[in-house]
Structure 1
Amino acid sequence: MHIIPVIDLMNGIVVHARHGNRQTYQPIQSLLCETAKPGNVINGFLELYPFTTMYIADINRLSANGNNTGTIIQLVEQYPHIQFWVDQGILHHHKYQPPENWLQIIGTESLTDAMLATVRLKPAELILSLDFKQSLIGSSQILEYPEQWPQQVIVMSLNKVGADTGPDWILLQKIKQLAMNSHIVAAGGIRGTSDLIKLSEMGIHRALLASSLHSGKLSGDDLHRLSTG
């Protein structure tokens, strides 16, 4: 299992995402670090396990309320050995040329049917996030063309995020059956070891995690037993 810690950035600090209700997000309280500063959170993750990939969501950008681009640039440059998956919405271009350890996520919540016709999803440096909150958010047409999906596809169950109720198993199985040559990444509701083992048994070997890491439900020993990167 490739376990990928999640960093939700809002106003320059890491927040605790719950149910996708971004206006209610509060600074993270974690057993891994003393503050919600992004660098402290990343160092806390790395003390727990030598993660090679981390996911960053720019909550301000996704909410059309500013951005955390400057902070993300600092993190990407400060931790060159970590591959960062960065979700800032639909193909935001910066004067800054991102280094190789910055991979862009394109999420359906920012993707309309009209945009879908002009966006190339196949580049190796692009990751697709299928964003669900009860149903798919954004372009529903994307589910009709799984052959156009990139290698990495996140199934993001926003209503499950931070809920500690388990993943959306039915949705994950449905998308896995649709996917042809894509690796599915489970996101939302993953509680701990048993959920990760079940995902692996389903043939899903990548997962985004936050709450179970910060709460201590997953120990360093657990991660070493489960992880492949």
Structure 2
Amino acid sequence: MQVIPVLDLLDGHVVRAVRGERSAYRPIQSRLAPTSDPLAVARALLEVSGARTLYIADLGAILQRGAHASTLAALRAALPGVELWLDAGFADYTSMRAQFERIDDAIAEHHNQHGNHAAASHLATLVPVFGTETLRDTHALHAAQRAGLAPILSLDHRAGELLAATSLDDSSAWWPSRVIAMTLDQVGSYTGPDLATFERLRARAAAHTTLIGAGGIRNRDDLAAAASTGATAWLVASALHDRQIDCTHPDSA
């Protein structure tokens, strides 16, 4: 099972997420890096996980406290070959497209200032994540798919209940090919992954759906338990920052 590291951005810093209580998030204190600088922490997370995918939650955008277009542009430019999954509180396809364009504009501005025009092939791939907590138009997923963006759906849960900004079809017919089972109150909690919610969603998913778990991983035993459910990947942050797991040295946890 693949470990996908998570980068939570707020007020220009990487912050430590705990149980989805965003007002209490503080700049990260990590054993991986001596700073909360997004690029330094991103590189450290990718190195310790061995991943080529990085999940980014732009909490500034989600909380409407200021999106991180410049920071995301810098990450795209500095991490070629990496896939960046971005959840920025998208309500619909229009808001997603606008945020992607702001990131592209920030890249262009940087290149103009420094006289360095990198080709798109030398940028990290940006993938939109639509979370049900903020998504108001499920047609956004189809629009993003038609635009070639391979969107991801995050089914956001708290206390076992789906968080939804609008009424949603109970079937999985509208789900894209990649879906995250997100349990916000398990994030950073060190209480273990919510396998019950994951297995419930897996039972609903179509055969072609890739289901990814999120939250609660404490150690390698938790990773093994999560893998036993059939998860192809799991989003992890705290256990990486605290060196409870090191995917590049499996026996060091």
| TM-score for the superposition, normalised by structure 2 | 0.81
Give the match for residue 116 of structure 1.
138
Q: Contact 2:182–2:215 (CA<8 Å) still a contact in 1?
A: yes
SS in structure 2 opposite 1:19?
coil
Q: Which moved more, 1:37-46 or 1:169-178?
A: 37-46
In the alignment, which residue of structure 2 is the partner of 1:42? Answer: 42
Measured at CA, do residues 67 and 96 of structure 1 come closer, stay the same or move farther in structure 2, by a change above 3 Å?
closer
1:137 is matched with which residue? 163
Report the alpha carbon displacement of residue 19 of structure 1 after superposing the two structures with TM.
0.7
- Judging changes above 3 Å, is the alpha-carbon distance between structure 1 residues 49 and 196 closer, same or farther for their aligned structure 2 residues? closer
In structure 2, C-alpha distance between the alignment counterparts of 1:143 and 1:161, rounded to whole Å: 26
Indicate the structure (1 or 2) with the bigger Cα radius of gyration: 2
The CA deviation string for residues 45-78 of structure 1, in whole angstroms up to 9 with x for no partner, is: 2432432000000001111211112111110121
| 1:185 aligns with one of 191, 198, 212 | 212
Q: Which region of structure 1 is more displaced relative to structure 2, 48-57 or 79-88?
A: 48-57
Code of the residue aligned with 1:161 in structure 2: it is V
CA 1:103/1:223 → structure 2, altered by over 3 Å: closer, same or farther? farther
Any stretches of 5+ residues in structure 1 without a counterpart?
A: none
Question: Could you tell me which residue of structure 1 aligns to residue 151 of structure 2?
Answer: 126
Q: Which of 194, 202, 216 matches 1:176?
A: 202
Alignment pair present for 1:211 and 2:246 = no
The one-letter code matched in structure 2 to 1:165 is: T
SS, match of residue 228 in structure 2: helix
Shift of 1:122: 7.3
Match of 2:19 in 1: 19
Q: Given the superposition, is the C-alpha separation of residues 118 and 96 from structure 1 closer, same or farther in structure 2, using an over 3 Å criterion?
A: closer
User: Percent sequence identity over matched residues?
Assistant: 32
- State the superposition RMSD in angstroms: 2.2
Residues 1:197 and 2:224 are matched in the alignment: yes
Distance 2:48 2:139 in 1: 42
Cα distance in 1 between the residues matched to 2:193 and 2:176: 22
How many Å separate the matches in 2 of 1:203 and 1:118?
28
The Cα shift of 1:96 comes to: 4.2
Is the contact between residue 19 and residue 185 of structure 2 (CA under 8 Å) also seen in structure 1? yes
- Structure 2, unaligned runs of 5 or more: 105-119
Task: Report if aligned partners of 2:189, 2:216 keep a CA contact under 8 Å in 1.
Answer: yes
Q: Give the whole-Å Cα distance in 1 for the aligned partners of 2:171 and 2:16.
A: 33
Alignment of 1:23-34 (within 5 A): 23-34=23-34
Work out the number of aligned pairs and report it: 223
Aligned counterparts of 2:6 and 2:192: Cα–Cα separation in 1: 17
Distance 1:224 1:207, change over 3 A: farther
Matched-pair contact (CA < 8 Å) for 2:141–2:176: no
Judged with a 3 Å threshold, the aligned counterparts in structure 2 of structure 1 residues 221 and 20 are, in CA distance, closer, same or farther, namely: same
Q: Is the 8 A contact 2:69 2:103 kept in 1?
A: no
The one-character-per-residue Cα deviations of 1:142-182 (angstroms, maximum 9, x if unpaired) are: 35131221111011100111100011111111000011021
* Aligned partner of 2:127 among 103, 114, 119: 103
CA contact (8 A) 1:49 1:223 kept: no
SS of residue in 1 equivalent to 2:192: coil
Q: Does 1:70 align with 2:70?
A: yes
Aligned match for 2:250, one of 211, 222, 226: 222
- Residue by residue over 1:115-163, the C-alpha shift from the partner in whole angstroms, topping out at 9 and shown as x without a partner, is 2356527725200001111211115743513122111101110011110
